[in-house]
Amino acid sequence: MKSFLHMLLLGLVLALGPMAGSQAADKPAAVLFHADWCLNCKLMKPRLAALQQQYGDRVEFIRVDYTTDAGRAEGKALAKARGFAKLYGENRATGWVALLKPDGTEAGALHVTMEDAEMQRALEDLLAASESS
């Protein structure tokens, strides 16, 4: 039964993915590569929540979950729909945030070692790069 539900959910993600991707493609994105067991993810969570409050109307905040097979399948479908499938396929790390222009090209990153002001500056740079493209 659990396997059936995972497949049903994956089917919905695949069916709705392109529509969701096209709706969000006008905004840059901050993509957290996450796993439940990842310490950096836990440390980044409150900081990203604060950034999302400040930038959420201009930047799409996405969480790609590597914790389970179902999460990885959903993440892969989302990455394909949102235009960062290559980055998703090449990435093996969690606990960091990829900053993507609306077309899916990488424009920077956020790491747990960054100060809050550095993260804000990186998001401002992302917005500026997205406007000039």
Kindly report, residue by residue over 79-107, the tens digit of the pLDDT. 999 989 999 999 989 999 999 999 999 99
Over residues 46-82, the pLDDT tens digits come to 999 999 999 999 999 999 999 999 999 999 999 999 9
At residue 132, the pLDDT reads 82
Separation between Cα atoms, residue 76 and residue 30, nearest integer Å: 16
The residue with greater pLDDT, 8 or 49, is 49
Alpha-carbon distances, residue 101 vs 3, 6, 82, 91 (angstroms)? 35, 30, 10, 18
Q: How far is CA 72 from the centre of its chain?
A: 13
Cα dihedral across residues 17, 20, 23, 28: positive or negative: negative
Listed in sequence order, the residues at least 6 apart from 9 whose beta carbon sits closer than 8 Å to its beta carbon are 70, 74
Percent of the chain whose pLDDT exceeds 90 = 75
Q: How far is CA 89 from the centre of its chain?
A: 13
What's the mean pLDDT in 11-16?
Answer: 38
Alpha-carbon distances, residue 116 vs 54, 99, 128 (angstroms)? 12, 15, 18
pTM, full prediction: 0.79
